Amino acid sequence: MVKRNKWVAGNWKMNLDYSSALELTNNLVANLPGLNGTSVTLCVPAVYLDALKPIVNKNGLIQLAAQNCHSEDKGAFTGEISAAMLKSMDINQVVLGHSERREYFHESNKFLSEKVSKVLSHGLTPIFCCGEPLSVREENKQNAFVTNQLEESIFHLSVEEVAKVVFAYEPIWAIGTGRTASAEQAQEMHEVIRHFFEQKYGAAVAEKLIILYGGSVNASNAATLFSMPDVDGGLVGGASLQANDFLQIISAAANS
């Protein structure tokens, strides 16, 4: 079995004012536990990216990610940001396909496929999200739903390209609801995803893919979730806004 280092990404969504963002980031940098190879990313509102860079650069152990970008490099897309802009700021990661972008902004699998290709063309790492709503889970159709998302958004990539993508499985019914998929449910879907990639790209590629779990990860359940063989860390929402909670989650990953 391939040894994969853990990865913890905190998704702030549209939260925190400027002073709170600075305070939280300084707190995390000052109190970061031993990482044992674990990667740590803060996915922050775009307006804070430049201000937070000098803080995380103090020790170089935390990366910054944008929460979204457009599929075009430039143009008449008021309010959007491009992968080219992020690259020019030395921001090297970006979240794509989060369920909230799909639901509220109607981003299709086709549009996301274009975004993924654009991000990779600039040498950035996409953190690509996939996951099913409650209605699909209740009908036990989650496997087909998630693999269809991946097929339509990712399977146009080459072997070399897909190896550069970080994936995050986020059951939509467990985001912000306090309802978390059990560790066994998370493992089951992560295993389905990894096997799906194995069929397309081969075992050598699939075994190395980083697949995060996102869905009400907190300080209490992180260690159990991260102990699952195919769960490589977490995309953390609300708990990433509290320094102590997020630091405990990072420690759980580093010690799993």
pLDDT at 120 over 90: yes
> Number of C-alpha atoms within 13 angstroms, CB side, residue 183?
13
Instruction: Report residue 4 as tokens.
Output: 């994969």
Which DSSP helix (H) or strand (E) runs through 84? helix 83-88
Across the chain, the runs of DSSP E, i.e. the strands, are 7-11, 39-43, 62-66, 93-96, 125-130, 166-169, 211-213, 233-236
* CA dist., res. 229 & res. 240, Å (int): 23
Q: Out of 98, 100, 132, 190, which one is annotated catalytic?
A: 98
pLDDT confidence of residue 136: 94
Q: Is 70 a catalytic residue?
A: no
Q: Sketch out the chain's domains with CATH numbers.
A: 7-254 (3.20.20.70)
Beta strand pairing call for 211-213 and 7-11: unpaired
pLDDT at 1 over 70: no
Q: Out of 70, 100, 170, 190, which one is annotated catalytic?
A: 170
pTM of the model: 0.97
First to last CA, the chain: 16
CA geometry: angle 193, 195, 200, nearest 5 deg: 100
| Tens digit of each residue's pLDDT (9 = 90 or more) over 2-55 | 789 999 999 999 999 999 999 999 999 999 999 999 999 999 999 999 999 999
| Tens digit of each residue's pLDDT (9 = 90 or more) over 203-242 | 999 999 999 999 889 999 999 999 999 999 999 999 999 9
* CA dist., res. 43 & res. 201, Å (int): 28
| Tens digit of each residue's pLDDT (9 = 90 or more) over 67-118 | 999 999 999 999 999 999 999 999 999 999 999 999 999 999 999 999 999 9
